């Protein structure tokens, strides 16, 4: 259950590209320890950009992001990033490394862990995501769902305080989607703090404790999934959710 322990606080965040296209407009929200936040909304609404701003892969144009109360601009960027893991839609496993090496390399280079310790931690996390039997495979020899599970294990090896998921299942077929969602549910049950950009409404409703709906760069609704799904008065939110459920049926 979420406590009052704030990990990330986003305040009045704005992001524009080339000084013209404003993708995020005045975004404010907070991620508390244990939160599972689902960020939903139509394509182009700024969901992915928001996650990328939190991980500093994009620099916000305005506003502040705080990590444990400190503005992240005052923190060491690489150190901060090692606490905020990110899982991408396109997996982005290192193609020149085996599954195990993918998990070992960041631990060795960023956390300076000893090789033996790094391998043990990597094996534990690969086992957690059900990939311990593919440790020595190269990314090109495993399926999309397996790649995404390895990407999750790689992020977990850094022992992050928050995991950001950017549409982790959008590139997967339903069967593989289920395997990745199972891992994410497992993590949520273990108390991992997560922010998930997703189009999986069932997952958002069942697993998230907070749901953020974005459109046009604004947050239109932020509440518990039940309240957003059943009691939200915003027409655009209702239309979107209605369409999503109709399409599912």
Partner 1 sequence: MTLFEQINYLISNYGSYFIKGLMATLVLAIVGTLVGLFLGIFFALLRNLSLDEHDNRLQRILKIIGKIVATVHIEIWRGIPMMVQAMLVFFGGAAIGISWARLGFSDFFNGYMICGLFVITVNTSAYMAEIVRSGMNGVDKGQMEAARSLGMSYMQTIWHVIIPQALKNSLPTIGNEFIVNIKDSSVLNVIGLTELYASVSAATNRNYFQIAGYIIVALIYLVLTLCTSLLIRWLSKSKKNKISNPFTLKHDNLTQGESNNAL
The one among 5, 28, 71, 141 contacting partner 1 by CB under 8 A? 141
Decide: is 175 part of the binding site for partner 1 (CB under 8 A). Answer: no
Q: Which is nearer to partner 1, 1 or 59 (CB)?
A: 59
The one among 136, 159, 189, 202 contacting partner 1 by CB under 8 A? 136
Q: Which is nearer to partner 1, 136 or 245 (CB)?
A: 136
The one among 93, 172, 219, 228 contacting partner 1 by CB under 8 A? 93
The one among 65, 155, 214, 241 contacting partner 1 by CB under 8 A? 155
The full 3-state SS of the chain, as one line of letters, equals CCCCCEEEEEEEEEEEECCCEEEEEEEEEEEECCCEEEEECCCCCCHHHHHHHHCCCCCCCEEEEEECCEEHHHCCHHHHHHHEEEECCCCCCCCCCCHHHHHHHHHHHCCCCCHHHHHHHHHHHHHHCCCHHHCCCCHHHCCHHHHHHHHHHHHHCCCCCEEEEECCCCCCCHHHHHHHHHHHHHHHHCCCEEEEECCCHHHHHHHCCEEEEEECCEEEEEECHHHHHHHCCCHHHHHHHHHHHHHHC
The one among 98, 123, 125, 169 contacting partner 1 by CB under 8 A? 98
From the list 3-11, 148-156, 180-188, 221-229, the region that binds partner 1 by CB under 8 A is 148-156
Q: Which is nearer to partner 1, 77 or 231 (CB)?
A: 77
Q: Which of residues 48-87 bind partner 1 (CB under 8 A)?
A: 55-57, 59, 77-82, 85-86
Q: Which is nearer to partner 1, 13 or 151 (CB)?
A: 151
Residues that bind partner 1 in the complex, under the rule CB under 8 A: 55-57, 59, 77-82, 85-86, 88, 90-98, 100-101, 104-106, 108-110, 119, 136-138, 140-142, 151, 154-155, 158
């Amino acid at each position: 259950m979420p406590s009052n322990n704030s990990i990330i606080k986003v305040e009045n965040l704005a992001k524009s590209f080339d000084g013209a296209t404003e993708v995020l407009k005045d975004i404010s929200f907070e991620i508390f320890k244990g939160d599972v936040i689902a960020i939903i909304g139509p394509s182009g609404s700024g969901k992915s950009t928001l996650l990328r701003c939190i991980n500093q892969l994009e620099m916000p144009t305005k506003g502040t992001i705080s990590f444990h109360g400190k503005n992240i601009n005052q923190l060491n960027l690489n150190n901060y990033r090692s606490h905020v893991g990110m899982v991408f839609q396109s997996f982005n496993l290192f193609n020149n490394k085996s599954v195990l090496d993918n998990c070992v390399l960041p631990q060795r280079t960023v956390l300076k862990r000893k090789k033996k310790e790094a391998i043990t931690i990597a094996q534990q996390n690969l086992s957690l995501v059900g990939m311990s039997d593919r440790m020595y495979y190269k990314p090109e020899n495993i399926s999309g769902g397996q790649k995404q599970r390895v990407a999750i294990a790689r992020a977990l090896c850094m022992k992050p305080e928050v995991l950001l998921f950017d549409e982790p299942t959008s590139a997967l077929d339903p069967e593989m989607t289920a395997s990745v969602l199972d891992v994410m549910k497992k993590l949520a049950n273990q108390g991992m703090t997560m922010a998930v950009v997703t189009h999986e409404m069932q997952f958002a409703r069942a697993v998230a404790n907070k749901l953020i709906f974005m459109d046009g760069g604004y947050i239109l609704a932020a509440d518990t999934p039940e309240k957003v799904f059943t009691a939200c008065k915003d027409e655009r939110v209702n239309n979107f959710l209605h369409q999503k459920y109709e399409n599912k049926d």
